[in-house]
Every structure is written in C-alpha cells, then in structure tokens.
Amino acid sequence: MDWITVIGLVLFGIILLIVEIIFVPGTTIVGILGVLFSGYGIYLGYQNFGATTGTIFLVSTVFLNAVALIVAFKGKSWERFSLKNSMTGKFNQDQDLNLKEGDVGKSISSLKPVGKALFDDQEVEVSSNGGYINENVEIEILRIESKKIFVQPVNQ
C-alpha cells in the first residue's frame, strides 16, 4: 500500500504540473498543488523506504516531469487550446459613414467609454468623452476623427 500511495502522489503531482503549464498557465494554484503532492510523495518515499529509495523517487520524479513537458510541447497538444484567429480590423473601418457632427442617435449599448450606437439605421462604434453613458440614451456626435466617433448625451 505504501508503494501505491507514494507513486500515486508523485504521478498526481506531475499531472497537476503539466495541467498548470499547458492548460491553466498563470494561476499558480494548480502548479503549487502539483509541487506539494510530488514533494509529499517523495517525502513519504524517503520516510518509508529509506534514503536510497527516496533518492530514486526524487530523481525519477524530476526525470518524469522533464519528459512529460518535452512530450507535451513537442506533441503540440497545447495548440488545440490556443487562439488561432486574431482581429485585425476595427468596427467602423469597413463602413461608409454618412454621419456628421451634430447628428442625433441612440446608444444601443452602454458606453464605458466605448460602445455601440444607432444613427439612421446604421450601427457604429462610438466613444464618449470619458464619461459613462447608459444604454438607450439619445446622443449626439461631437466630432469624427478618422472614423472614430465621439459623442455626448443630448441633454448636455
């Protein structure tokens, strides 16, 4: 039973370390748990089986961690979970804007400070002047700078 416990703890620790590096990088909780499980397994190996067997567990754990990471990265298993597409355009870039300063429309999302608005059945991305504007508020265009539209609520 002692062998199964020690080997199980070490293998579970290795699995947690691989999960930390490949699937949830940056959280560190899973990695710390992996180190703790592996460390406790190695400690039990030293305590129950002596220095020679404990050292064998230590060396094998380090070796298995290295092999598992190399196989995981060379096998590109992490690519299945990575984002392959990127956004290259902006919301208003591909639209012909028939808008001018002073036009009145309605915010269709909250502007924090960027959101969407509707002007003459044309949905566009707009920016407030730094303030928060709720959804369904009448807004007017202050200025347009290279397809970036700045708005303010009508009642200002």
Per-residue model confidence as pLDDT tens for the chain (156 residues):
688 988 899 889 988 888 887 777 666 788 889 889 999 999 998 998 889 988 988 998 889 888 877 877 777 666 666 666 655 555 666 566 778 888 999 999 888 888 899 988 888 889 988 788 989 999 999 988 877 889 999 876
* pTM for this model (two decimals): 0.48
Q: Say what the pLDDT of residue 55 is.
A: 92
Plot region of 83 (φ>0 → left; ψ -120 to 50 → alpha; else → beta) = beta
Paired tokens of 14: 């290795």
Helices (H) and strands (E) in the chain, counts: 3, 5
Under 8 Å CB-to-CB from 18, ≥6 apart: which residues? 34, 68, 69, 72
> What does the alpha-carbon distance between residue 57 and residue 69 come to, in Å, rounded to a whole number?
18
Q: Say what the pLDDT of residue 151 is.
A: 93
CB–CB of 128/122 below 8 Å? no
Q: Say what the pLDDT of residue 31 is.
A: 84
Paired tokens of 33: 């748990």
Considering only CA atoms, give the Rg of the chain: 29
State how far the alpha carbon of 102 is from the alpha carbons of 17, 64, 110, 144, 153, in Å. Answer: 58, 67, 20, 10, 11
Q: Say what the pLDDT of residue 83 is.
A: 60
Q: What is the DSSP letter of 80?
A: G
> What does the alpha-carbon distance between residue 48 and residue 61 come to, in Å, rounded to a whole number?
17
